[in-house]
């Protein structure tokens, strides 16, 4: 009998040693105080106000979307409240030329990147015009197949690299999504090609009802970057400044040709998984909800800005009113979208000539539609 | 003109397109310095550089994602899946994503991707190398599926596939890679997708076939001629969409038809051809349209290929049933 190699090399100790290195990066604590002055991005006053404005606006967008969904005026909707720092501060670090490959919960990022709100609502309802992205807005429609956006991001990033562009492709998934094969293949491909990609895992603690602990024995999701040989960081996803800095630095690495980064944002969704009947009280306790409510990204950012004299209740009211007004207008605009026709769906299938089967079916539906 | 095998014609088509369009990218497992496991990409990396022809990690799904992402940045990707039995790993990227890219973006984005992949039996490959899975692809709206049977067709169809602005699945039969040579023009030429080709004219029976089965059908037709039957052999070349015009014209001439495929009877696309014929030309038929196909089992262990794969003898047997119905 030889010696037990697990004892000799003690891989468990190595694992714990590595895991312990993934400490959560934070700049702003729950009280809105800077706890990491060295890392403070020192955004200008205007930038700070703009980021807060977007976060407040998006919280209202979430509240209104849930309400519009309940009234039957929206369809598929995945709530975002609680993830404003994770979604919007990461987006705030991007440039217009950057590509976004969102998951189904990541509508806010593509809206702030240039997708008109009325189109976002049409996406929710299930209308192809919602996915007709305006020219020059580098986004894809929200991806429903969890993980697919990751491998596609590796491709877009390689494309940007081959074109010699100084921009990045960014993508988002959730904690559950990190269990998918495409998650791993995506980060591994981008690593192997050293492509300018930013992979964000928004760890909101639950994949529908399945807690994060059931996804993996790994202590952090960030450490999964090690498997791809790429740097990764664990960030307080309820802290806008920390998320901004992590994304900004990952972007800088990427455009300098140093390859991709994986960012885990530790956050929480206050609402259900989607509005299609999920009931979080079945799998979450009020205690957990309250614990995370205390970490609210808007609350802590508000405190920080108020202390700097950059934010007031009146200012917040103004943003809320503007959001409500624009949402009302956008819903009206979405209402005005013409009903979809089968002939239009057929027209969107192929760039080239229609195959015979679609030509025949086009003629049949054209006839039906003319009646 | 030069005498080329099908694999040489394929390499030649790739070379033409890499030369003519700087957006064309060839990538996959071992397609670079190695020149591909069947030498389909031989010499291309040397000629066009590692930026245009490159190897990837061993992950079909990732290759599919890479192709979609590169297409979004304006490239014209020509990825390879080493054997089509491995398509299950990349089904989402092909059927769930690529095929839908244009539609789901309301026409905002195109997907000019050609996926090349070998398949087909008769060369004693290990498990999951030879399965005929074209039927899966043919069921996915948004895809075109091309299967050449000759060097000449392979080159013209591959150039057309690469130039097409929609996704094309280009399936290359392993047994046809080097089984014969024929005259192939050295310059670029195209063969329209969705167009069948009458490989042999006849008036008593139409045989519709694709891939290796075209050659088994031609052999059967020769044998049947010795028995006094005039048999037409139509090579479908594109199995989705079908060339309805050519198929129906042939049936209306001969009034009898069979459909020949290497795939299992419950798979492939023969049932689709039969349905189209009965929909459109039932009054021309003197007999039911019968199918030649493999048994509905998993693809055989290599030593059983000889008794399992359809051959010209099966084609003759079914042809006679229809001719003497």
Identity of the residue in B57, B97, B166 whose CB atom sits nearest the CB atom of A148: B97
For chain B, what percentages of helix, strand and coil (3-state, to nearest 5) are there?
40, 20, 40
> How far apart (Å, rounded) are the C-alpha atoms in residues A45 and A140?
32
| B75–A348 C-beta distance less than 8 A | no
Average per-residue pLDDT for chain B: 98
| A153–B69 C-beta distance less than 8 A | yes
The predicted model gives B116-135 an average pLDDT of: 97
Of A2-11, B14-23, B83-92, give the lowest mean pLDDT range: A2-11
Mutate to test the interface with A, among B52, B62, B77 (most CBs of A within 10 A): B62
What's the confidence (pLDDT) of residue B38? 96
Q: Is the pLDDT of residue A8 over 90?
A: no
What's the confidence (pLDDT) of residue A2? 78
What's the confidence (pLDDT) of residue A320? 98
**What are the two backbone dihedrals, phi and then psi, of residue B235, each rounded to the nearest 5 degrees?**
-90, 115
Q: Does B301 touch chain A (CB under 8 A)?
A: no
Percent of chain A at pLDDT > 70 equals 100
Q: Is the pLDDT of residue B37 over 70?
A: yes
Number of other residues whose CB lies within 10 A of the CB of residue A11: 11
Tell me if residue B200 falls in helix, strand or coil.
strand
Is A304 annotated as catalytic?
Answer: no
What's the confidence (pLDDT) of residue A181? 98
Angle between helices A45-70 and A313-335 (to 10 degrees): 50
Q: What tokens does A309 get?
A: 């004299």
Q: What tokens does B306 get?
A: 């000889």
- List residues of B with catalytic annotation: 129
ipTM of this predicted structure: 0.96
What's the confidence (pLDDT) of residue A215? 97
The predicted model gives B171-178 an average pLDDT of: 98
Q: What is the DSSP string of B108-150?
A: SS----EEEEEE-SSS---TTSS---HHHHHTSTT-EEE---S
The predicted model gives B211-226 an average pLDDT of: 98
- Among candidates B82, B79, B12, which has minimal Cα distance to B52? B79
What's the confidence (pLDDT) of residue B188? 97
| A355–B241 C-beta distance less than 8 A | yes
Identity of the residue in A141, A151, A160 whose CB atom sits nearest the CB atom of B66: A151
Name the band, by pLDDT with cuts 50, 70 and 90, for residue A221.
very high
Task: List pLDDT tens digits, range B184-198.
Answer: 999 999 999 999 999
Q: Is the pLDDT of residue A3 over 90?
A: no
- Do B176 and B123 touch, CB atoms closer than 8 A? no
Task: List pLDDT tens digits, range A243-258.
Answer: 999 999 999 999 999 9
Task: List pLDDT tens digits, range B259-292.
Answer: 999 999 999 999 999 999 999 999 999 999 999 9
Contacts with A150 from chain B: Cβ below 8 Å: 65
User: Closest approach of chain B CAs to the CA of A213, in angstroms?
Assistant: 26
| A351–B112 C-beta distance less than 8 A | yes
Name the band, by pLDDT with cuts 50, 70 and 90, for residue B157.
very high
Task: Please give the model's pTM, rounded to 2 decimal places.
Answer: 0.97
Name the band, by pLDDT with cuts 50, 70 and 90, for residue B16.
very high
The predicted model gives A341-355 an average pLDDT of: 96
What's the confidence (pLDDT) of residue B46? 98
Task: List pLDDT tens digits, range B223-248.
Answer: 999 999 999 999 999 999 999 999 99
Task: List pLDDT tens digits, range A96-107.
Answer: 999 999 999 999
Q: Which residues pair with A261 in a beta bridge?
A: A198
Name the band, by pLDDT with cuts 50, 70 and 90, for residue A7.
confident
Q: Is the pLDDT of residue A1 over 80?
A: no
The predicted model gives A93-120 an average pLDDT of: 98
Q: Is the pLDDT of residue B64 over 70?
A: yes
- Do B256 and B205 touch, CB atoms closer than 8 A? yes
What's the confidence (pLDDT) of residue A148? 98
Chain B residue at shortest CA distance from A152? B65
């Amino acid at each position: 009998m030889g010696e037990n190699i697990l004892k000799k090399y003690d891989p468990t100790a190595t694992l714990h040693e590595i895991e312990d290195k993934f400490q959560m990066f934070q700049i702003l604590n729950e009280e809105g105080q800077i706890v990491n002055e060295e890392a403070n991005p020192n955004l200008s006053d205007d930038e700070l106000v703009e980021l807060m404005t977007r976060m407040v606006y998006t919280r209202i967008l979430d509240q209104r979307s849930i309400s519009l969904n309940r009234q039957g005026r929206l369809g598929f909707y995945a709530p975002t409240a609680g993830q404003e720092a994770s979604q919007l501060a990461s987006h705030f670090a991007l440039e217009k030329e950057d590509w976004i490959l969102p998951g189904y919960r990541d509508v806010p990022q593509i809206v702030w990147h240039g997708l008109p709100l009325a189109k976002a609502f049409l996406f929710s309802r299930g209308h192809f015009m919602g996915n007709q992205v305006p020219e020059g807005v580098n986004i894809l429609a929200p991806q429903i197949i969890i993980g697919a956006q990751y491998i596609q991001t590796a491709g877009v990033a390689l494309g940007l690299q081959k074109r010699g562009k100084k921009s990045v492709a960014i993508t988002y998934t959730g904690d559950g999504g990190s269990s998918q094969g495409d998650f791993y293949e995506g980060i591994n491909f981008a690593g192997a090609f050293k492509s300018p990609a930013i992979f964000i895992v928004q760890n909101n603690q639950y994949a529908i009802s399945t807690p994060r602990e059931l996804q993996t024995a790994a202590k952090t999701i960030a450490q999964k970057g090690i498997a791809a040989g790429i740097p990764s960081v664990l960030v307080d996803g309820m802290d806008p400044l920390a998320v901004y800095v992590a994304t900004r630095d990952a972007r800088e690495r990427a455009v300098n040709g140093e390859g991709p980064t994986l960012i885990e944002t530790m956050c929480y969704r206050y609402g259900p998984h989607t509005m299609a009947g999920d009931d979080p009280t079945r799998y979450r306790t009020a205690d957990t909800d309250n614990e995370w409510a205390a970490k609210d990204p808007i609350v802590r950012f508000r405190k920080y800005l108020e202390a700097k004299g950059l934010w007031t209740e009146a200012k917040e009211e103004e943003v809320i009113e503007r959001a409500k007004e624009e949402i009302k207008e956008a819903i009206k605009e979405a209402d005005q979208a013409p009903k979809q026709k089968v002939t239009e769906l057929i027209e969107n299938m192929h760039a080239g000539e229609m195959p015979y089967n679609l030509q025949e079916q086009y003629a049949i539906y054209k006839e039906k539609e003319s009646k | 003109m030069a005498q080329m095998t099908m694999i040489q014609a394929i390499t030649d088509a790739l070379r033409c397109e890499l030369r003519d369009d700087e957006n064309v990218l060839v990538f996959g497992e071992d397609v670079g310095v190695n020149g591909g496991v069947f030498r389909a990409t031989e010499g291309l990396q040397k000629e066009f550089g590692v930026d245009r022809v490159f190897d990837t990690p061993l992950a079909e799904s990732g290759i599919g994602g890479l192709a979609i992402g590169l297409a979004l940045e304006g490239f014209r990707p020509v990825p390879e899946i080493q054997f089509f039995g491995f398509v299950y790993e990349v089904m989402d990227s092909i059927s769930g994503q690529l095929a839908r890219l244009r539609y789901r973006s309301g026409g905002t984005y195109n997907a000019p991707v050609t996926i090349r992949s070998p398949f087909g039996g008769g060369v004693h490959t290990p498990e999951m190398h030879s399965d005929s899975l074209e039927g899966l692809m043919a069921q996915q709206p948004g895809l075109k599926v091309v299967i050449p049977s000759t060097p000449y067709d392979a080159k013209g169809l591959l150039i057309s596939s690469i130039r097409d602005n929609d996704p094309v699945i280009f399936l290359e039969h392993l047994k046809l890679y080097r089984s014969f040579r024929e005259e192939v023009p050295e310059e670029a030429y195209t063969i329209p997708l969705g167009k069948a080709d009458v490989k042999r004219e006849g008036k008593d029976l139409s045989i519709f076939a694709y891939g290796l089965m075209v050659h088994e059908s031609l052999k059967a037709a020769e044998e049947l001629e010795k028995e006094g039957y005039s048999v037409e052999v139509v090579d479908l070349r594109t199995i989705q969409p079908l060339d309805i015009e050519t198929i129906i014209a042939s049936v209306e001439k001969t009034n009898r038809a069979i459909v020949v495929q290497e795939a299992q009877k419950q798979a492939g696309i023969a049932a689709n051809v039969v349905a189209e014929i009965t929909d459109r030309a039932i009054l021309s038929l003197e007999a039911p349209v019968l199918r030649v196909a493999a048994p509905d089992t998993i693809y055989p262990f290599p030593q059983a290929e000889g008794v399992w794969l359809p051959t010209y003898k099966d084609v003759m047997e079914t042809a006679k049933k229809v001719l003497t119905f």
